[in-house]
């Protein structure tokens, strides 16, 4: 079924500048979502759309959860806003306590913001402040990774490694370098779970980057445990552990960007637990409130908060950073309720139980036309398609549109189709998801 044209809609689409969207094409044939419940959206033309992406990697417990809706409503009726600078409110402290308890052992404090982008920039600033408080103010260089994504603010964009996100914005933040991407189809195509080849790529940190910049000048390395926005790029087995070892040897902080991988996507509270590698800071957002209210956070291991705070004179503001909506009452209430739903319903264990079935379903697409790789871990997967000659990303874009026409929402980046459904998905819905995707891939061949 074709979406109605702009003239058939009662909305004026012109004033809105949509993010990460081809605005002219979208407004010529808009795709509007007007309601959601459980595993499904309702489109503006009345169709039920199976949500194969948990919104934007965030609605991990499914849509319109009554417990979360009720918590937001109660909070809005009680305290709609409280200033976070020099004031506080009870729910932000409750949310921090719940989040720290939900984090891996050894993490002690949470700093709230409003998005994954803000969490990335906040984590980088915390890392710089920590080293300065320790008397190592020369540690100012930041190391990211090619094809990494850490949001769209200037700090996260600088350590990020997706060229298209960077090229229009000039010099960005100085003093940044990048590790090589771990993605390698020659060695790792069609791996199930963590690829076997590539742990040695972590050695580039010690072999090239540290000699080039001197460890005494490097503050932090930031990586996603798996790269979501670049197309579900999974870490080679042992890669993250080697990064941890190298950072430890040279006094460099390790930051995991878990904006996508946190809150059950890999069957654990955080990917750090899935891989058995503990960073120094974790950024999170998205699933923190089940996508219901914007919120992000940086969770820090024990000692980082104390180091920064205790280095400042008594009565002084120790960390000159924050946002008007840090720890917003509605967001804090949503976070407490969301974590409660994740825990009470055992959704992470459910993801572990479904992972083999989910893996079998996506790898069944291996023989479809133009499929050059399939990647999966937990309840996230990617199907990479051969690009059309002279038209990169066109094939995946067509697949995205055809899936939507057939009542399935997926994501595409480059020529990769990504799926990351809510953790409440059932086997029949997994069958529908990958059955529809397989038909579409064949149809657009």
Name the pTM for this structure.
0.96
Phi, psi of 11 (to 5 degrees): -80, 150
Instruction: Establish if 57 belongs to a structural domain.
Output: yes
Q: Are residues 369 and 433 in the same domain?
A: yes
Q: What order do you get walking across the sheet with 416-419 strand by strand?
A: 371-377, 380-385, 416-419, 411-413
Give the per-residue pLDDT at 9.
60
Domain extent at residue 79: 67-344
Q: Are residues 220 and 245 in the same domain?
A: yes
CATH of the domain at 76: 3.40.640.10
CA dist list (Å): 383 to 43, 352, 358, 427: 25, 21, 13, 19
The domain total for the chain is 2
Q: Are residues 137 and 277 in the same domain?
A: yes
Q: Are residues 351 and 422 in the same domain?
A: yes
Instruction: Establish if 337 belongs to a structural domain.
Output: yes
The pLDDT averaged over each successive group of 10 residues in the chain (445 residues) is 50 96 96 98 97 98 98 98 98 98 98 98 98 97 98 97 93 95 97 97 98 98 96 98 98 98 98 98 98 98 97 96 98 98 98 98 98 98 97 97 98 97 98 98 96
**Which residues have CB under 8 Å from 426's CB, separation 6+?**
none
Q: Are residues 198 and 340 in the same domain?
A: yes
Residue pLDDT, tens place only, 245-285 = 999 999 999 999 999 999 999 999 999 999 999 999 999 99
Q: Are residues 205 and 331 in the same domain?
A: yes
Choosing from 344, 373, 399, the residue where a domain stops is 344
Instruction: Establish if 239 belongs to a structural domain.
Output: yes
Instruction: Establish if 286 belongs to a structural domain.
Output: yes
Instruction: Establish if 3 belongs to a structural domain.
Output: no
**Structure token pair of residue 81:** 């806003």
Q: In angstroms, rounded to a whole number, what is the distance separating the alpha carbons of residues 143 and 222?
A: 6
Residue 68 CA from chain centroid, whole number: 21
Closest CA to 243 of 119, 341, 145: 145
Q: Are residues 100 and 51 in the same domain?
A: no
Closest CA to 264 of 231, 286, 293: 286
Give the per-residue pLDDT at 10.
82
Q: Are residues 352 and 338 in the same domain?
A: no
Q: Are residues 95 and 53 in the same domain?
A: no
Instruction: Establish if 315 belongs to a structural domain.
Output: yes
Q: Are residues 74 and 221 in the same domain?
A: yes
Q: Are residues 50 and 103 in the same domain?
A: no
**Structure token pair of residue 4:** 């109605």
Residue pLDDT, tens place only, 307-346 = 999 999 999 999 999 999 999 999 999 999 999 999 999 9
Choosing from 327, 344, 361, the residue where a domain stops is 344
Instruction: Establish if 256 belongs to a structural domain.
Output: yes
Q: Are residues 264 and 298 in the same domain?
A: yes
CA dist list (Å): 123 to 1, 255, 399: 45, 8, 36
Closest CA to 281 of 262, 265, 295: 262
Choosing from 323, 344, 365, the residue where a domain stops is 344
Return the SS3 of 270.
coil
CATH of the domain at 410: 3.90.1150.10
Instruction: Establish if 22 belongs to a structural domain.
Output: no
Q: In angstroms, rounded to a whole number, what is the distance separating the alpha carbons of residues 48 and 40?
A: 6
On the 0-12 / 13-18 / 19+ scale of CB atoms within 10 A, 347 is buried
Give the per-residue pLDDT at 80.
98
């Amino acid at each position: 079924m074709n979406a109605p044209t702009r003239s058939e809609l009662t909305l004026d689409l012109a004033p809105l500048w949509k993010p990460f969207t081809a605005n002219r094409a979208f407004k010529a044939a808009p795709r509007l979502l007007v309601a959601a419940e459980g595993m499904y959206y309702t489109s503006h033309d009345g169709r039920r759309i199976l949500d194969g992406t948990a919104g934007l990697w965030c609605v991990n417990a499914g849509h319109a959860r009554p417990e979360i809706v009720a918590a937001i409503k109660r909070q809005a009726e009680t305290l709609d806003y409280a200033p976070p600078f020099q004031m506080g409110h009870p729910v932000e402290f409750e949310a921090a306590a719940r989040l720290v308890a939900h984090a891996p052992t050894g993490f002690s404090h949470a700093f709230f913001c409003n998005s994954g982008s803000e969490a990335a920039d906040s984590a980088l600033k915390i890392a710089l402040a920590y080293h300065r408080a320790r008397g190592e103010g020369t540690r100012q260089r930041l190391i990211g990774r090619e094809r990494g994504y850490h949001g769209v603010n200037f700090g996260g964009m600088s350590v990020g490694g997706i060229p298209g996100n960077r090229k229009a914005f000039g010099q960005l933040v100085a003093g940044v370098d990048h590790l090589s991407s771990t993605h390698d189809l020659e060695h790792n195509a069609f791996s199930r779970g963590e690829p076997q080849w590539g742990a040695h790529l972590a050695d580039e940190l010690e072999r090239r980057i540290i000699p080039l910049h001197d460890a005494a000048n490097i503050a932090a390395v930031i990586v996603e445990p798996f790269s979501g926005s670049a197309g579900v790029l999974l870490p080679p087995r042992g890669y993250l552990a080697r990064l941890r070892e190298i950072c430890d040897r040279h006094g460099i902080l390790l930051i995991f960007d878990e904006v996508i991988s946190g809150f059950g996507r890999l069957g654990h509270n955080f990917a750090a637990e899935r891989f058995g590698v503990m960073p120094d800071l974790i950024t999170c957002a998205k699933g923190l409130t089940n996508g219901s209210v914007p919120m992000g956070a940086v969770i820090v291991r024990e000692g980082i908060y104390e180091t920064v705070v205790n280095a400042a004179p008594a009565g002084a503001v120790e960390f000159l950073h924050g946002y008007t909506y840090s720890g917003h009452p509605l967001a804090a209430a949503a976070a407490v309720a969301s974590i409660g739903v994740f825990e009470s319903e055992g959704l992470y264990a459910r993801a572990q139980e479904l992972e083999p079935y989910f893996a079998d379903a996506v790898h069944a697409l291996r023989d479809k036309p133009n499929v050059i790789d399939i990647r999966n871990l937990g309840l996230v997967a990617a199907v990479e398609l051969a690009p059309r000659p002279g038209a990169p990303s066109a094939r995946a874009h067509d697949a995205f549109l055809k899936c939507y026409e057939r009542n399935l929402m997926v994501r595409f980046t480059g020529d990769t189709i990504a799926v990351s459904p809510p953790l409440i998905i059932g086997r029949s819905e997994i069958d529908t998801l990958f059955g529809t995707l397989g038909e579409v891939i064949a149809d657009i061949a």
